[in-house]
Structure 1
Amino acid sequence: MGEFNVENFNIEYFFSGEIDNYNYSSDLPPILPDAAPCHPETLEINRYAVVIIYVLVTLLSLVGNSLVMLVILYNRSSCSVTDVYLLNLAIADLLFALTLPVWAASKVKGWTFGKSMCKIFSFVKEVTFYSSVLLLACISMDRYLAIVHATSTLIQKRHLVKFVCITMWILSIFVSLPILILRNTVRVNSLTLVCYEDAGNNTTRWRIVLRFLPQTFGFLLPLLIMLFCYGFTLRTLFKAHMGQKHRAMRVIFAVVLVFLLCWLPHNLVLFADTLMRTKLIQETCERRNDIDRALNATEILGFLHSCLNPIIYAFIGQKFRYGLLKIMATHGLISKEFLAKEGRPSFVGSSSGNTSTTL
């Protein structure tokens, strides 16, 4: 790789000689005109604490999403429409989490994996992030059609659901292309490289423009879809006399609440940071350091979403628990008497046999 053009990029102001001032997913290099560069107020222990959290999230996601995939694929003969969405969601969350150890390592020693791996890991992380949240929106629409409108003609055609999932993956790839094109290894100093967008003099402008994609397609749009669909779904469940409507409502509340708790703080901090970058609010060293710390903390909170999805959609659901117990009984891990005692889950809801309010 050729030497990085420091004069064009103003790297001394962007990074201030510290790798901790760089944040992979969202942070922009600090720009304080007519002022000395801000030095991040971070402790060495914080860097390793972040690494430990990244690894734990990866392990939890690996276990949870692998179990979801195992149960769905093992019972694929009775696979429902929702199961198809859940399988794709588990794949997206698992791939997303598997990139985290690489980013954790880069926080300690900088980017040591080369230019090609920088582009590939950035692209995979971005694609799986978008596909995960878009699939969550698709699940909410599936529940809306199944419960509110009792639409059986659409949701019974499994190949149409597969087409929707493929479309979500293609859309995720499309909106992630700018990351694939612009990502490059950037030299912070003589010893350290980072994986960062490199568009020459327009890098900062591109970083601000690129924030529109995750905040729109990765948060605002899916959130509005979920609020609309689950709002009408809850209203229908309140009016219906269903034995398991309370369980279904708990799952719905958990879905929206966890999504908000995980991603709303990060998007609010991003919005505040963008306001500061565009000079709509005053930028000071103290405010810069506060926002940098908040970006790091809320980003970790957002990453937790990948290991919480299996708990919400699968472990709370009766169908998943029964499927997992069935696999364990088949392989002699539990007795068949215990499986019989647990009993089959009962399904209620739409006119389609392929759906249920128990998720």
Structure 2
Amino acid sequence: MGEIRVDNFSLDYFFSGDIDSYNYSSDLPPTLQGAAPCHPENLEINRYAVVVIYVLVTLLSLLGNSLVMLVILYNRSTCSVTDVYLLNLAIADLLFALTLPVWAASKVKGWIFGSAMCKIFSFVKEVTFYSSVLLLACISMDRYLAIVHATSTLIQKRHLVKFVCITMWVLSVLVSLPILILRNIVKANSLTLVCYEDVGNDTTKWRMVLRFLPQIIGFLLPLLIMLFCYGFTLRTLFKAHMGQKHRAMRVIFAVVLVFLLCWLPYNLVLFSDTLMRTKKIQETCKRRNDIDMALNATEILGFLHSCLNPIIYAFIGQKFRYGLLKIMATYGIVSKEFLAKEGRPSFVGSSSGNTSTTL
């Protein structure tokens, strides 16, 4: 693919310096009609702060998701349906976090890793993003089936759950293919290269099309599924007299709340940016800079979600804590007396025995 022309304008004027998968800019020139040239605000200090945050998120995600994988694989003989989903979720979040240091480095030095790595890292980041949120939706459906329909259903057969997870990964790969095809090295200015979409004269149109993929498949659809499933789940828990219902409700509220806190601000800002790019609202230099900065800030919240998932699904849950303490007791890190005092968690699950209300 050829490079985007930079003869008449520089990407610096409308490109916030962020190399993320979702910050798509228009092909507007730096000078708005009847106005002085737009000069992006100096974000050098913020850029280095973002690098530090990216590294911290990576380290936290590595620690949390690695522990989740360790506990599930160590106890794979008693692995439940939910555990299969959590294992795949941990893998997705871990791979997503591993791409962040590369994007952090590109914020400071520009893209210095070559065209092939641009495509590969963009593709991996996109696939793991989609698989993570789709697996969250699957977990909400699993909770719905386990609590609202506490019967042995087809979806609770372990081999079919593995098939569902594989399907989510395949779907994530398919919706990420445009990024793999269209990503290339583009000149931001005479000195800096960025990893960005390059579709020639149709750049703006394709970026608008690609923008709706993460908003619909990566946010709106999973959110609707979670609200539906967890809504009925909570209603059932309120009506039932389950010993674990308060803990299950706490986990459910945490799931929806953290998902909203992490991704809703970014999607609202992105929607505002879309309105501006499509001229539904007036574009000004100040509004352009404000939205660019807001996209950078709210995107960090979204990235933070990858290291919060282990806390929600694992550290709040009795089952994970007991599994981790069991491993620690085996290797003498904690005493067996402490493990016995902690006590094995009790579960209230479906008749199939493959899932439980306690995560």
Normalising by structure 1, what TM-score? 0.95
2:254 maps to: 254
1:270 maps to: 270
Specify whether residues 231 and 241 from structure 1 end up closer, same or farther in structure 2 by C-alpha distance, changes over 3 A only. Answer: same
For residues 211-250 of structure 1, the aligned pairs below 5 Å read 211-250=211-250
Structure 2 portions without partners, runs of 5+:
none
Between the aligned partners of 1:136 and 1:304, the Cα distance in structure 2 is: 15
Q: Deviations over 1:117-143 (max 9, x none)?
A: 000000000000000000000000011
For residues 181-330 of structure 1, the aligned pairs below 5 Å read 181-330=181-330
1:15 maps to: 12
- Give the C-alpha shift of residue 289 in structure 1: 0.6
- Give the C-alpha shift of residue 350 in structure 1: 2.1
For residues 71-220 of structure 1, the aligned pairs below 5 Å read 71-220=71-220
- Give the C-alpha shift of residue 39 in structure 1: 1.7
Whether the aligned pair in 1 keeps the contact of 2:157 and 2:354 (CA below 8 Å) is no
2:22 maps to: 26
Q: Deviations over 1:175-214 (max 9, x none)?
A: 0000000000011223211000000011111111101100
Q: Which amino acid aligns with 1:322?
A: Y
Whether the aligned pair in 2 keeps the contact of 1:22 and 1:29 (CA below 8 Å) is no
Q: Which amino acid aligns with 1:279?
A: K
Identity of matched residues, %: 85
Specify whether residues 29 and 298 from structure 1 end up closer, same or farther in structure 2 by C-alpha distance, changes over 3 A only. Answer: same
Whether the aligned pair in 1 keeps the contact of 2:69 and 2:90 (CA below 8 Å) is yes
Normalising by structure 2, what TM-score? 0.95
- Give the C-alpha shift of residue 156 in structure 1: 3.8
Q: Which amino acid aligns with 1:327?
A: I
Between the aligned partners of 1:151 and 1:284, the Cα distance in structure 2 is: 57
Three-state SS of the structure 1 residue aligned to 2:195 is strand
Over aligned residue pairs, what C-alpha RMSD do you find? 1.6
- 1:352 equivalent in alignment to 2:352: yes
Q: Deviations over 1:197-234 (max 9, x none)?
A: 00001111111110110000000000000000000000
Moved over 6 A (4+): none
Three-state SS of the structure 2 residue aligned to 1:88 is helix
Specify whether residues 199 and 357 from structure 1 end up closer, same or farther in structure 2 by C-alpha distance, changes over 3 A only. Answer: same
Structure 1 portions without partners, runs of 5+:
none
Between the aligned partners of 1:266 and 1:25, the Cα distance in structure 2 is: 13
Between the aligned partners of 2:79 and 2:18, the Cα distance in structure 1 is: 44
Whether the aligned pair in 2 keeps the contact of 1:146 and 1:155 (CA below 8 Å) is no
- Give the C-alpha shift of residue 243 in structure 1: 1.0
Q: Deviations over 1:306-340 (max 9, x none)?
A: 00000000010000000000000001111111111
Q: Deviations over 1:270-316 (max 9, x none)?
A: 00000000000000000001101100000000000000000000010
Q: Which amino acid aligns with 2:284?
A: T
Whether the aligned pair in 1 keeps the contact of 2:183 and 2:196 (CA below 8 Å) is yes
Whether the aligned pair in 2 keeps the contact of 1:95 and 1:124 (CA below 8 Å) is yes
Specify whether residues 309 and 27 from structure 1 end up closer, same or farther in structure 2 by C-alpha distance, changes over 3 A only. Answer: same
Three-state SS of the structure 2 residue aligned to 1:304 is helix
Three-state SS of the structure 2 residue aligned to 1:40 is coil
- Give the C-alpha shift of residue 38 in structure 1: 2.0
Between the aligned partners of 1:227 and 1:315, the Cα distance in structure 2 is: 23
- Give the C-alpha shift of residue 10 in structure 1: 6.1
- Give the C-alpha shift of residue 155 in structure 1: 4.0
